[in-house]
Each structure stands twice: as structure tokens, then as C-alpha cells.
Amino acid sequence: MPERSQAESATKAPKAPKKTAAPRRQARGERRIAQLLAAAASVFCRTGYAAASTNAIAREAEVSPGTLYQFFPNKEAIAIELGGQLLRRAHEMHGQAFLPENLEKPLPELLDAVLDPVIAFNCENPAFWALMHGTGIPGIAQEHEELHSGLLTRVEGVLRTFCPDGTPEEITRTSNMILAIFKSSLDLILASEGAERAAYIAEAKTVLLRYVEPMVTAPHPH
């Protein structure tokens, strides 16, 4: 009888240990990364990327530098991760702003439909502006250039709808001017708050409307 019990126990597969620790550690790690990225966003906005340091980011996140280095080897790695997340969200936002049904709106309403989500995204994510301009990080610079090219293509598509008589060169030149005007306006918008910000937003829309409206040759959508 004892021999049978030993034989039976020998044939039984050992029970696999419960896998609870790894997912728990992973969840903690993800929360820590999110904490560090949020801290980096604050530091980049406050000091700019060039003046920021890993020590400042660790202080902002209320962790030790050693804890930060467990997840990111340097400031550039943090910026690339944060920039990548923001760029993905920016791509999604552009898709929402340039919905096909927006092209059926009159030009003033079209400007509202396109500009409002773009402005809101930049106001809610000031680190995006801080990282995309002047950081010189190769990965971010390349992806931002791709984002700009995609945005230029979208603006050209809108202009072709409203200005079908424009040559390809005219459409591209006008689209570049629209983006340049908007980016300059965004500097003022982000530097202001409250009623002053709202006033600059209204001014930006007025400038763009007065620039584009004389070029419109297509019949009114309605």
C-alpha cells in the first residue's frame, strides 16, 4: 500500500505555482512609468528640454534617481517615450479634427471644427509643444516631421475642396502659410490663460478666415 501511494504520487504532475506576483509587479511598473512621464512633462514645460535633468524629474515624481534609472537610462529615453505617446495621440486627434463631414461645413464652421480640437490638445498637453520644437532628439524630430507632413496633406485636401481652381503649387504654398500662421498663433495661445487665451484663439481664427476666404472659388456647401 505505501509503495502504491509512492508510485501514484510519482506519476502526479506537480502543481504549477500561482502566477500573481509578476502581473502585480508589471502593474506597479506601469504606474511608476506613468508617474515619471507625468513628472517629466511638468519639468519639460517649466524649464524646457535642454535645461531639464533626470534629478529634477525624479524630484518632481518624488522618487529617488535610482528608481528613475530602473526604468529610463537617461533624459532622452524619457523624452522619446513621452514624445511617442503624445505623437500617437496627436495623430488620433488630427483624424478627429479632419472628419470628412467637416468639409461640408461653411468655412467659418470648418475652422472651428478643425482648430478647436487641435488647440485643445496643445493646451491640455503643453509638453507636446516643448518636446516637438527645438529638442533635436532624432526619434522625436523624425516622427514630428511625419506628423507635420500628414497635417500638411490634410490641409491641402481641404483647400482643394474649397479652392478647386488653385494649382498644386498654390495649394501647397497656401497650406504651408496656414500652418505657419497657426503655429505662430499657438505660441501666443499657450502663453496666455483664461479670457486672454480665448481672445487669441478668436484672433487666430479671424486671421485664417480672412486669409483663406478670398481664395474660395467652390460653391458654398449648403
Per-residue model confidence as pLDDT tens digits over 36-46: 999 999 999 99
Task: Name the one residue in this structure whose C-alpha cell is 518636446.
Answer: 131
- Say whether 106 sits in a helix, a strand or coil: coil
pLDDT reported for residue 7: 45
pLDDT at 27: 82
Backbone angles phi, psi at 120, to 5 degrees: -60, -40
User: Is the pLDDT score of 8 beyond 50?
Assistant: no
Q: What is the pLDDT of residues 100-155, one digit of tens each?
A: 898 889 999 999 999 999 999 999 999 998 888 766 777 788 888 899 999 999 99
Distances (CA, A) of 13 to 6, 19, 34: 13, 17, 41
Determine how many CB atoms are found less than 10 A away from the CB of residue 55: 13
Helix (H) or strand (E) holding 32: helix 21-47
* DSSP assignment string, 180-219: HHHHHHHHHHHT--HHHHHHHHHHHHHHHHHHHGGG--SP
What's the start-to-end Cα distance of the chain, in Å?
Answer: 92
Q: Which residue has the higher pLDDT, 20 or 74?
A: 74
Return contacts of 61-67, CB within 8 angstroms, 24+ apart: 61/35, 61/36, 63/32, 63/35, 63/36, 67/32
Q: What DSSP state is assigned to residue 165? A: T
Cell numbers at 10, concatenated: 510519482
Q: What pLDDT, on a 0 to 100 scale, did the predictor assign at position 133?
A: 76
**How far is Cα 178 from Cα 71, in angstroms, rounded to an integer?**
40
Cβ count near 53 (within 10 Å): 12
Average pLDDT over residues 175-201: 96
